Chain A
Amino acid sequence: MSEGLILAAMVAALSISVFFVKLPTGIALLVSAMIGAFVAGEGIPLRHLAEGSMMYLDPMLIVLTSLFFMAVFERSGALSSLNVWMLRKFSSRPFILVSLLTLFVMLPGMFTGLTAPCVLTTGAIAAPVLLAAGTPRAVAGAFIASGAFWGMAAPPVNICAMLIGAGVDMPYIGFDLPLLATTVPLALLSGHLLVGKYFRGLKTENVCELIESKESGGALLYLPFLVVMSLMLGERFLPQYVPHLGIPLIFVIAAVLSLFTGARVKIKEAADWSVKSAMPILALLAGIGMFIQILTLTGARGFIVIELLELSEWQRYVGIAILVQLFGGVSAYGSSVVLGVPILLSMLGQNNVIVASALSIIASLGDFMPPTRLAVVLAGPVVGEESSAAILRKSLWPIVLGLACGIGMLIYANEIGKLFGLN
């Protein structure tokens, strides 16, 4: 069977499983992978399915441990206390408050190149402020997902750009300025477009009353969050002093610390909540890994790439806008490696740094895209919105701005490169 038909069979199996049989997406991806392997004559390739399921082991552990940290940190009273302080300080200046909230949500992503830590740490801290200001839950979720996306693409750490560069032996040099100049202003614009209207005319005291504050722990309440940030940043900037622990272990350490820094936390209840919230996401990530493994095994992945590269120039821009972010929905890093590198090689006449930066931004948009919608799915429990589709619908601004920015950078790569002194 040809690669195109195998791909069609996999997509059909996925669609039927999700929309008609109503299977959870993670299980539907497993079914689709098995159908793909079967029609390709591979039978049931147990080893490939096992290997694929482990593809996202690290993100799985990050999701599980960061949700546990968030549960314990929130229950210790730290979030509400921090939010009351933020509102008292800045609510009379809503422009500054929204800008700071945006940059605050972005921060972990700028240093990890991931959306999950943004949504689940700084996003979780920002969420009560957003909700107290009257922001609808879905919009608050979109604001957090937006900050996380821009944080993932912003310098100094943009893993997608690193992966694309590594594919052509291009060092990660010269990316900071172009990425900073594009991501930060657009992140602020996205933030204000999403929640600006809810913050205008904010009455501090009224809003503070909405947040149940438990300030008994004082500054000690924030220690776990400081530990998370210190270990993440310290590992990067002071590697001689701060050991590499890995993000999951950092979250576990901070969660344990939260048990002693604020209100008494029922640990079993927090653990139950985090496992229950994480389970569908873990299944989704395992399913996606198996799906990619079978796509590659059967040649369907190569079919997608070559179909994109065979398009004419303008068609290719449309193809990039659709395929790079959609593949990013399976994995932003995977999209960078599988599609980003060949696209960069097909555009070698253009400024490499700007092209790789642009592709990294478009690939990072994948965290909004199905099937994972990782940033959106994670934002759901953070803002208490059950429908991730509702959050996705409200995320139009960052998606449109990210896409316009990425495609614009691709088209005018040489001109933009000259602006930043890159030749």
Chain B
Amino acid sequence: MNDENELKLRSSLMVSFGTQPRSRSILGMVGIALKMLMGDPVKYFGLVFGIGFSTLLMSQQASIFVGLLTWGANPVLDVRQAQVWVMDPRVKQPDQGQAISDQSLYRVRSVDGVAWAVPYARSAATVKTMQGNIAAVTLVGVDNQSMVGLPEENLANSMSAIRGRNAAILDGNTQHLIWADGRDPIGQVVEINDNRVVVTGLTSSLTNFSGLPTLYMKYSDAIAITPPERNKLSFVLVEPKPGVTPEDLAERISEVTGLKALTRQQFAAAGTQFIIENTGIPISFGAAIGLGILVAVVITALTLAMFVAENLKNFGALKAIGVTNRQILVMVLSQALLVGFIGYGIGIGGTAAFLYFGQADPSLRGFKALGEIVGGSALLVMIIVLGSAYVSVRKVLKLDPAIVFRG
């Protein structure tokens, strides 16, 4: 900070004090504080970009982390029509194949409070294309009649495209994993377990943890083309009657049938929980997010402390002319909030841009910009800057105004 600047600052300080009435003096003080801040571009930009970078790190990593966790829940969240999932008691997450007897469907339907229940099969399969490629897919069998479980978005063909014999609707977001050459999958003939399957439509399903393309077929077709097993029914999807809560119904179904019944939210949470418990994702992402927070704290606190220390003389002058500690606190906090706001804006904007433009890339499509992360990182940044500001300003508050005159 050069002397000319300092001089200007001081004179403006005097001016605003002398002329502004009391009510506007706080605003004047804030204005002076902000001028003080912007007058020192190195620290100003240092603070802004330090906070911006750490916000970016935190929010982007948190988004990816939450996104990855949601991948475990997405097979459940993809089914929007049913509130309760019924499965084998040993099943912990949606991609775990432990089929139940087909008779379970009728047992579940017979439970009081069930409006409807439909079968849902989920299994792994290998697709062979006519071009000679082999790709692993998740094969989903949805109820022939109601098609519950088939995502309705972005259907390149009507839902009834699934009704044909051995017709399949493919998740259009992952079609490149089967046909890398970008051809239109509709009308393509593939082979699954020596059965001819025709892709007749495209849908958009949420990204799942396995990352495999999802192929939707009629339940009867899906279980007919998979290798013989004792049971093939993976889940029963249930909708409660009006007036019955999903939680009550799930409990009742478990009690009556001996199967595990979870509400959609419970099962989605179980899918997430499975990833948390069984992968290194929480640790790696937790470390990244923690580093983001650490960077934010360190940079903000150090820079702010440095800034306050350098302006100690100015603050002393202010105190000498009768500026109270409270007013100084407001000044420093406003400085901190401004850099916090700008830094947060840059960081969160970067994350938003990353997620928004990343949607074009299929591998980034599964990550979501969540309000919780936007709000949470705002809160975190606010706490960090306010905390740093408070720590830095303590020296000013204890400052003896006479220091100015001691030169």
Q: Do the two chains bind? A: no
* Chain B residues within CB distance 8 Å of chain A: none
